[in-house]
Structure 1
Amino acid sequence: MKHLQLVMAAGLALGSAACGDSSLAPDEGLQPRVSVRGLSNTVLPRGLTEEELLRTETDPAQGAAQAYAWQCNPGLYGFTSAPSGVRFPGEYASTTGLLIGWPQYGCDVTELSDLIRTALGRTQVTVVVSTEHQQGARTCLRHRGVSDVQLAQVEWVNAPVDSIWMRDYGPEVVTGVDGSRQLIDMSYYPQLSGTCNNLAGRTSDDAVPTRLAEAWGSPVHRAKVRLEGGNLQTDGAGTCFRAQRNANARNCFSGWCYTEEELNEVIGGFHGCRVHAMESLVGGVIDHIDMWMTVLSRKTILVGRYDVTDDPENAAILDRNAQRLSGLGYRVVRVPMPKPYCKQLNATCTGQENLIGPCDGTSERVWATYMNSIRLGNALAVPVFRWVPGSHKAIIAAQEAEAFAIYQRELDREFGRGAVQVVPIPSDGIIPCQGSLHCVTMTYR
């Protein structure tokens, strides 16, 4: 496979970013402080760190000396007009390419290598990684059972990344009227910077769609909207879905202020779809729709289901969302969500088995979910969880078995018996960071 090389912009400062404001923190999946600069074997959480939150705009009148990345470097981050006539394929149709970001700590995230190993032979694999870390990625994958023959099939794109959350910062891949591949880029956790010479935020991540567009020779369209890809799903037939609360709040600030309807129009205009804003979960889970629903096909949507005795408030919210989707004409199938459990508060968000236990009021909830799955050709990778409290093991094992049976039954129904097989991938390491398999991947045709 031809290795793609990108020319890095001279003098571009690499850093970290966040968005939203302090009023969003309780439902943002806020994680303990982690510095983006100089990361060493530390997984950057999916949501905001305390340090990133401190750098997020809270006062619209902070002064003209501060700027956003799109003002400093419009070639990488600046907004464009929306494309015309594009189609946003459903993930069930985007099964021929898998996109993964590999930061310097990529080898510490076993989910990445498990996904790559599972995908090779089933779909094209593209890994976005800086030149200085590419050899380390190759060595890591060899140690994880990927052969040299398989490695030769990987497409390597030379670009740095800050984090593993490709779903959130990577491009949405749409199809033009001529069948061409086009990339849609939404602003990823933008932060105000003191000067343009020292940009704050996850700017390497935010630049990935533009750098990938260069490598692929595809056009990129950058929407004037603050939204992560994990909060956008489509049925592939002109309808999209997102969670409501935080996206609405983030897109009314000093830079622009949209009503919910206007925000839906902007998102829909770039993706060629009509957008429905769904009710958000509560209690500290990141406000991304891929934590609780999966669009399995054009007409079938899987929606999580909490036991009312475990989480009555979110159980009711998911019931209402399922009812709404059913009212829109979809076949809605409910899938159990794992019984809630917690981890002790610690310095990083990465999972550690010895820190897991029942929730006792002083610990932090682990938002485990079977909904964060990803299609890899003729396989559907579904997260499973083994680091659970002893008191929960039997219950969660039964919920897992039920979830897998539902997935396989519905896949057989939609695509033919045995055409797509469910593949379990342990995801205990990153689920405390509020993300799993879907969150670290982007698929394309």
Structure 2
Amino acid sequence: MNWTMPPETAPQERIWMAFPRQGMTLGATEAERAAGYAAWAMVANTIAERMPVTMVVDPTETARAASMLSGEITRVEHPIGEFWMRDTGPTFVLSDDGRLGAVDWIFNGWGGQDWSDPGPDRYVAAFIAEIAGAERLPSLLVNEGGGLHVDGAGTVLLTDTVQLGAERNPHADRGRVEAEMARLLGATNPVWLSRGLTRDYEAFGTSGHVDMVATCPAPGQILLHVQDNPEHPDHAVMQALRAELEAARDASGAPFEIIELPAPELLRDAEGWVDYSYVNHLAINGAVIACGFGEPKEDARAAEILGHAYPGREIVTLDARELFARGGGIHCITQQQPRASAP
């Protein structure tokens, strides 16, 4: 049986999310926690206006989720530790005959971060697979959905410091990782990037998730994060990553068309260098749910670029600053389930 991960632009059945629960990631004060709950609910309710959403809710948050989420959202109860569904949930794939599969990566809290609570999440992917009617596809690779992007035509974007990091897969090499990507995702053209953004190696970081750096709106195309200000350390980081992508080829052997997505102007927040990235958006049926950062000119420029990259889709920009303050963006808290053509 051959499995393939469709591109995010393929027709989707629903979007999966996890409702926040109290802990270090959510916030230390009541105000911080309230802002976190509101940010997750805003994203979920916005998507639910356009397509089905299922929210996994920890038993400790049942009442709050019911009060904050749209009645259009399906809620299912299950213990969770973290609530970044891109990473803790399954990666959905389709078989040659159109059946739904769910890749169950090993999740160890982004390499065993001391603030993470990965224990309950080892069962989340299997739980979702059962509800979705998907065949569970277990993997021995420690990995997260935010650590890869596919174009649906054979290419997968990966990062040395994620899949090959000693805290995740100390005995793996590129060959083993690439074989697993081919087996589970149908991706036979791996493109390795050397690292991720600067802040992603600090507190609440993932050590280099590619979904903050680059994505594939179509085969042969890459939307690339750009930091134009040389004061920011990511200016040099992104110049190096662009050179790596310019040297890479798509599955057909052609160079990639690189489309720049410049970062907003803000360089620092109270914690240090920001990793604000418009790349961390979600394509859904008929729309793109985009990150905004309270900078009207830059947010509008990013929306225009996304509109050209995803023709015919509505571009919906949501303020993502509270998500980024906790370590990620809109893509990080969502997971798409592609539409299957067979039971």
TM range (shorter): 0.7 to 0.9
1:87-126 paired onto structure 2 within 5 Å: 87-105=4-22, 108-126=36-54
1:209-358 paired onto structure 2 within 5 Å: 209-250=125-166, 251-253=168-170, 257-274=171-188, 275-281=190-196, 283-285=198-200, 286-307=207-228, 309-311=230-232, 312-325=235-248, 328-345=254-271
- Deviation (angstroms), 1:192: 11
Structure 2 Cα separation of the partners of residues 86 and 208 of structure 1: 21
1:67-106 paired onto structure 2 within 5 Å: 84-105=1-22
Contact residue 111 and residue 425 of structure 1 kept, 8 A: no
Counterpart selection for 1:378 from 286, 292, 296: 286
Counterpart selection for 2:327 from 434, 437, 443: 434
Moved over 6 A (4+): none
Residues 138, 324 of structure 1: CA spacing in aligned structure 2 closer, same or farther, 3 A cutoff? farther
Question: Are residues 1:398 and 2:297 paired?
Answer: yes
Counterpart selection for 2:318 from 425, 436, 440: 425
Counterpart selection for 1:163 from 59, 82, 92: 82
Residues 225, 400 of structure 1: CA spacing in aligned structure 2 closer, same or farther, 3 A cutoff? same
TM-score, structure 2 normalization: 0.83
Structure 1 Cα separation of the partners of residues 131 and 78 of structure 2: 10
Provide the secondary structure at the position in 2 that maps to 1:109.
helix
Structure 2 Cα separation of the partners of residues 377 and 246 of structure 1: 29
* Unaligned residue ranges in structure 2 (runs of 5+): 27-33, 201-206, 339-343
- Deviation (angstroms), 1:190: 5.8
Contact residue 9 and residue 284 of structure 2 kept, 8 A: no
- Deviation (angstroms), 1:136: 1.9
- Deviation (angstroms), 1:217: 3.0
- Which amino acid in structure 2 is aligned with residue 316 of structure 1? Q
TM-score, structure 1 normalization: 0.65
Provide the secondary structure at the position in 1 that maps to 2:138.
strand
Structure 1 Cα separation of the partners of residues 118 and 210 of structure 2: 22
The aligned residue for residue 204 of structure 2 is none
- Which amino acid in structure 2 is aligned with residue 177 of structure 1? D
Structure 1 Cα separation of the partners of residues 210 and 245 of structure 2: 13
Contact residue 246 and residue 255 of structure 2 kept, 8 A: no
The structure with more radius of gyration: 1
Structure 2 Cα separation of the partners of residues 334 and 432 of structure 1: 24
- Deviation (angstroms), 1:114: 1.5
Residues 190, 302 of structure 1: CA spacing in aligned structure 2 closer, same or farther, 3 A cutoff? closer
Residues 109, 181 of structure 1: CA spacing in aligned structure 2 closer, same or farther, 3 A cutoff? same
Indicate the percent of aligned positions where both proteins have the same amino acid. 20
Provide the secondary structure at the position in 2 that maps to 1:173.
strand
- Which amino acid in structure 2 is aligned with residue 329 of structure 1? P
Structure 1 vs Structure 2 CA RMSD: 2.5
Residues 343, 121 of structure 1: CA spacing in aligned structure 2 closer, same or farther, 3 A cutoff? closer
- Deviation (angstroms), 1:340: 4.7
Provide the secondary structure at the position in 1 that maps to 2:3.
coil
Residues 94, 204 of structure 1: CA spacing in aligned structure 2 closer, same or farther, 3 A cutoff? farther
Residues 319, 218 of structure 1: CA spacing in aligned structure 2 closer, same or farther, 3 A cutoff? closer
Matched positions, count: 311
Residues 132, 400 of structure 1: CA spacing in aligned structure 2 closer, same or farther, 3 A cutoff? closer
Contact residue 384 and residue 424 of structure 1 kept, 8 A: yes
The aligned residue for residue 410 of structure 1 is 309
- Deviation (angstroms), 1:298: 2.7
Residues 407, 204 of structure 1: CA spacing in aligned structure 2 closer, same or farther, 3 A cutoff? same
Provide the secondary structure at the position in 2 that maps to 1:104.
coil
Structure 2 Cα separation of the partners of residues 423 and 325 of structure 1: 31
Provide the secondary structure at the position in 2 that maps to 1:258.
coil
* Unaligned residue ranges in structure 1 (runs of 5+): 1-83, 194-199, 346-363, 387-395, 413-418
Structure 2 Cα separation of the partners of residues 322 and 308 of structure 1: 20
Question: Are residues 1:184 and 2:87 paired?
Answer: no
Structure 1 Cα separation of the partners of residues 96 and 182 of structure 2: 16
- Deviation (angstroms), 1:278: 1.6
Residues 245, 340 of structure 1: CA spacing in aligned structure 2 closer, same or farther, 3 A cutoff? farther
Structure 2 Cα separation of the partners of residues 336 and 192 of structure 1: 29
Contact residue 104 and residue 125 of structure 2 kept, 8 A: yes
Counterpart selection for 1:140 from 68, 90, 97: 68
Report which stretch shifted further, 227-236 or 324-333: 324-333
